Structure 1
Amino acid sequence: MVKTVIIEAHGGPEQFRIVDREVGAPGKGEIRIRHENCGLNFIDVYQRSGLYKLDLPHAMGMEGAGVVEAVGEGVSHLKKGDRAAYASMPPGSYSEARVMPAAQVCKLPDEISFELGAAMMLKGMTVVYLFQRTTPIKKGDTVLFHAAAGGVGLLACQWARSEGIRLIGTAGTDEKCRLAEENGADVCINYRDGDWVQKVRDLTDGQGVDVVMDAVGKDTFDGSLDCLKPLGMMISFGNASGPVPPFNLATLAGKGSLKITRPTLFTHIAKHEDCQAIAAALFEKVANGDVEIRIDQRFALDDVAEAQRALEARETTGQTVLTV
């Protein structure tokens, strides 16, 4: 029997229940992993709230790191005793141990701790697909990144710096702006202090940016389109302020034949070989020091409701982990 966090109804953090569940042997294509740490992400909030519906009751959590305890038939890239980390469906990482599909579980290099592994997989692999797999971005290009002091944002700032890409960030306080700049943002705009769209235009001599990466959603969407240069790419990859409402596609033509995509990490890692390659790119950046995983908040698994409240209130910076 292992401790597992579940929800039985969608809603606020008060919906969490901590129960004891039996964990059996892995079946074909599965592993059993005992967690040391698990990660905290906005997708967990979306699933809990019902923005992303789950069949209930359901275990929670998308990201974890620990030790492989058993391997099912057909699994060849992992073995019992391996250190491993993952960010993948289905939810269930808020637990002491679980049985799960093995294809998206990755062997964790010895030089990367379990805590870092749990903190980096979902956000780090997101940064990899944003910069390497969504639209061509080359040295010298300019990217506008919203929430640049958040978990994904700080990694994106460092990634851009390591690739010679100019990153203009936005954040909600001067302190967060300084943090983004310390991590590699060329400049970070406090969007509460004046017209951030005009500031982006001024910083690009009126030309606009090549790419916008926006996980905020509703509150920044229209302004983000106004920051793009003709033929620019809008990558809308999250809904922190709420989902983007419907809009007229002709708007993209009128603003300069803009392009837009709404990707998810789980599409990019759906194939085993793609997932392993994306993880390898992330591990390389972390191992060589180009990207540092900053863990600013730690909570016990029992305090998961408090952790999610802090995340929703935008009181967190960097990464947050739960200790199992």
Structure 2
Amino acid sequence: MSVRSLVNTVMRAVRVTEFGGPKVLKVDKNVPVPKSSNDQILIKVHAAGINPVDTYIRSGTYAVKPTLPYTPGKDVAGVVEEVGSNVSNLKKGDRVYSMAATSGGYAEYCTAASSDTKLLHSNLTYEEGAGIGVPYYTAYRALVIIGGAKAGDTVLVHGASGAVGLACAQIAHFRGLRVLGTAGSQAGLDLIARNGCDAVFCHREEGYATKIMEATENVGPQIIIEMLANVNLERDLTMIAKKGRIVVVGNRGSTEITPRLAMQKECIVTGMLLFNATQGEMDEIDAAVAGGMRDGWIKPHIGKVYSLEEAPNAHEDIINNKGTQGRLIFKVSS
């Protein structure tokens, strides 16, 4: 299909016309195909990733609210359909992934910032490509840049079976760390054991923290990557090694901690938000991810695939699941 014919056509896209629960997500079959600006590209979307932040934005509780109506989603994988006049790093027909869908990724086509759109290696499918962006970039920044991970360290990925957790485990394993991971189901434990975790623990089991400490000879992990701080932060403070680092990646509420635990450990507790990354950090992550795709150690696990019409179910599942297992995605086109 030519660029000119695309401009005057319509597409299917998930639209939000009011903030609220998952049911506000509705497919509209007559949304105009967006037009890329000079610095953007137009992507024919094959798959789109689903992130927890998508649900916060949809509910209207996120700090930044988009103008209604809007199409959710930032993570996509597909084929470049059109390039802006200032774009030199990509061309029509390139297989790409992006976490910068500017017109919304839950759609048949989306515009994206060319600077934040990268080539998708042939080792990965489009579905896997939709699992790279936010999960792997978040994991790398949390573990390596903020967490200061180095070969020989022990890292505990607290909630390792989700998309970011599995990315952390794969990156840590590749970089020579000893990886401990927790999950909430036997299927989740089996999954993280196959994806880089040297020892696995069920965080629904009473006394699991004691087992983690025994596995570290009661020293504790040097790094903890925390996916649900409002539930686990106090426990993390009891486990972290002296002068260790707890990096909070996920949180869904307030919590109460005992500051003396931090005093005793002289540990650092820090939050991490991917979009605070500097350009230099993003360049470092780009290079690491490109190498991981090429060499085969980056391999997103797709937990469940949805159609665009199943968007309400997808948003319900990503928040209220009984045991996350990998990345949730929309399959948009074949």
Q: Which of 66, 75, 80 is residue 63 of structure 1 equivalent to?
A: 75
Structure-2 residue corresponding to 1:202: 214
2:328 corresponds to which of 317, 320, 323 = 320
Q: 278, 284, 290: which one pairs with 2:297?
A: 290
> 2 CA distance for matches of 1:24 and 1:179?
39
Residue 312 (structure 2) aligned to one of 278, 292, 305: 305
Aligned length, in residue pairs = 319
* C-alpha contact 2:97 2:132 (8 A) present in aligned 1: no
C-alpha distance in structure 2 between counterparts of 1:91 and 1:314, whole Å: 28
C-alpha displacement of 1:68: 1.5
Question: Where does structure 2 lack aligned partners over 5 or more consecutive residues?
Answer: 1-9
- 1:218 is paired with a residue whose SS is helix
Rounded to whole Å, the distance in 2 between the matches of 1:285 and 1:157 is 13
Structure 2 counterpart of 1:98, from 92, 104, 110? 110
Coordinate RMSD, CA, aligned: 2.2
Query: Which ranges of structure 1 fall in alignment gaps of 5 or more residues?
Result: none
Relative to 1, partners in 2 of residues 1:4 and 1:161: Cα closer, same or farther, differing over 3 Å? same
1:276 Cα offset (Å):
4.7
CA, structure 1 residues 253+308, in 2 after alignment: closer, same or farther (shift >3 Å)? Answer: closer
Q: In the alignment, residue 322 of structure 1 is paired with which amino acid? A: F
Contact 2:34 2:109 in 1 (8 A): no
Q: Which amino acid aligns with 1:263?
A: M
Give the match's secondary structure for 2:245.
Answer: strand
Matched, 1:262 2:274: no
CA distance in 1, matches of 2:21, 2:260: 35
Verify the 8 A CA contact 1:252 1:259 in the aligned structure 2. Answer: no
Paired position in structure 2 for 1:179: 191
Contact 2:72–2:106 (CA<8 Å) still a contact in 1?
Answer: yes
How much has 1:258 moved relative to structure 2? 1.5
Normalised by the length of structure 2, the TM-score is 0.87
- Aligned positions of 1:65-214 closer than 5 A: 65-88=77-100, 90=102, 92-214=104-226
Q: Secondary structure at the match of 2:229?
A: coil
Instruction: State the TM-score, normalized to the length of structure 1.
Output: 0.90
Question: Which residue identity is paired with 2:312?
Answer: A
Look up the SS of the partner of 2:36 in the other structure.
coil
CA-CA distance at 1:214 after TM superposition = 0.7
Check conservation: 2:20, 2:59, Cα contact below 8 A. Answer: yes
Return the alpha-carbon distance in structure 1 between the equivalents of residues 306 and 101 of structure 2.
23
Is residue 34–residue 103 contact of structure 2 (8 Å, CA) maintained in 1?
Answer: no
Alpha-carbon distance in 1 for matches of 2:254, 2:198: 27
Letter in 2 for 1:229: A
What is residue 60 of structure 2 aligned with on the other side?
50
- CA offset digits 1:176-219 (Å, max 9, x no partner): 22221222212111122112332222222221211110111211
